[in-house]
Every structure is written in C-alpha cells, then in structure tokens.
Copies of this chain bind each other. A is one copy, B any other.
C-alpha cells in the first residue's frame, strides 16, 4: 500500500519505532477514499475513528445557535483530524468534519487504538506526544484569538499556512478566523489596493 508509506514517514519523525513496529502500527489503519463534500464526522454520532490525511483537505466546524458555521480546524496532507471530544470520551459529536476535496485517509478505530496502545508502550508514547502537541497548538490558537484583531489573524494565517489558504474556500477561512466572509473580503481588497 503506497498510502501507508505516508503514515510511516510521519511515524519516522518520532525516531521511536523499529520498522516492524511501524509496520504493525500502520496495519491497524484502513484506507478510505472520501468524496468531496462527504462527511466523516457528524453531530449526534460518536466519532469512532481518528483520521490521518494522506491526500486531500478537510474542515471541522460547528453550527451555532443562529445557524452560523464556525470552522474549528483544517487538515491537509500529513495532518490528523477528528472530533476529539467525541473520540476520546466516545460520546456523540458536536462537530462536522467534511472533505473539501476528493481525499484519501487512513483511519483507526477507537478500540483498535486501545489495543495498539496496550500492545506496546511505544505506541502509547506516540499518541501522548500527538496529544501534547495538539494541546500546545490549540493554546497558541486561543492566544491568537484573544490578542489579535481580525486582520492580524488573517495576516498570521497567510504567513504560516499559505498552502491551506490557497486550498480552502473563503467562507471556511473566514469562519476559522472568527469573522464573516464579507469582512474577510474587505480585508483582502484593502491589501490589494495598498500594494499599488
């Protein structure tokens, strides 16, 4: 399986597993092809899997009271995505996770993940590090939301994740940055004018 090499390469960055262990790890995952606009997590249903993106792009979002969508995170190649609140507590999800493009993912079932961790402490370590980094990442996001203006957040995102910005629709980016599509459009336009 060619796509499993991506996940192996991800694992190799930890410099922790032998080739056989790495092999065992990826064997617990199954490859899924996801159509554009297809949902892999939906509110009301338990998120039964953790997903690793081999190819494509995803978007996680919640729908507020007024029906407004709020993007929580994106995931492109070599990133992970799921509704963590749902996955780790195995309770109904509150988020949607949808494919923005034709995608290929490798996913692991919750129970299989538990087995994996039990079978070898090194696997436990992998998941521990992933969670810690995720936590640190979320905290940086939170700080950015609290301390910066809409335009500053936009600038930061463009400089840090230009590849994502190119691939996701404007409304998704806007709702991730905590603003409306209209306002994002105005920010962009202002910048274009300034350059000339």
Enumerate chain A interface residues (CB-CB to B < 8 A). Answer: 62, 64-65, 68, 70, 72, 84-85, 88-89, 94, 117, 121, 124-125, 127-128, 131-136, 138-143, 145-148, 175, 178
A148 to B145, CA, bound (A): 14
Q: Are B142 and A145 in contact (CB under 8 A)?
A: yes
- Not counting A64-B146, A138-B142, a sample of 8 additional A-B residue pairs whose C-beta atoms are within 8 angstroms of each other reads A62-B143, A62-B146, A64-B147, A88-B133, A131-B132, A131-B135, A138-B138, A146-B178
Tell me the nearest residue of chain B to A64, going by C-beta: B147
Chain copies in the assembled complex: 2
Contacting residues, chain B, for A175 (C-beta < 8 A): 146
A139 to B139, CA, bound (A): 9
Contacting residues, chain B, for A62 (C-beta < 8 A): 143, 146-147
Interface residue from B128, B140, B178 paired with A85 (Cβ < 8 Å):
B140
Q: Are B145 and A145 in contact (CB under 8 A)?
A: yes
A175 to B124, CA, bound (A): 36
Contacting residues, chain B, for A65 (C-beta < 8 A): 147
Contacting residues, chain B, for A70 (C-beta < 8 A): 143, 146-147
Contacting residues, chain B, for A85 (C-beta < 8 A): 136, 139-140
Q: Are A142 and B88 in contact (CB under 8 A)?
A: no
Contacting residues, chain B, for A134 (C-beta < 8 A): 131, 135
A84-B135, A88-B132, A121-B124 are contacts. A141–B142 as well, Cβ < 8 Å? yes
A138 to B148, CA, bound (A): 18
Contacting residues, chain B, for A68 (C-beta < 8 A): 147
25 example contacts (A-B, Cβ-Cβ < 8 A) are as follows A64-B146, A64-B147, A65-B147, A68-B147, A70-B143, A70-B146, A70-B147, A72-B143, A84-B135, A85-B136, A85-B139, A88-B133, A88-B136, A89-B136, A127-B132, A128-B131, A131-B132, A131-B135, A135-B135, A138-B139, A138-B142, A142-B142, A142-B145, A145-B146, A145-B178
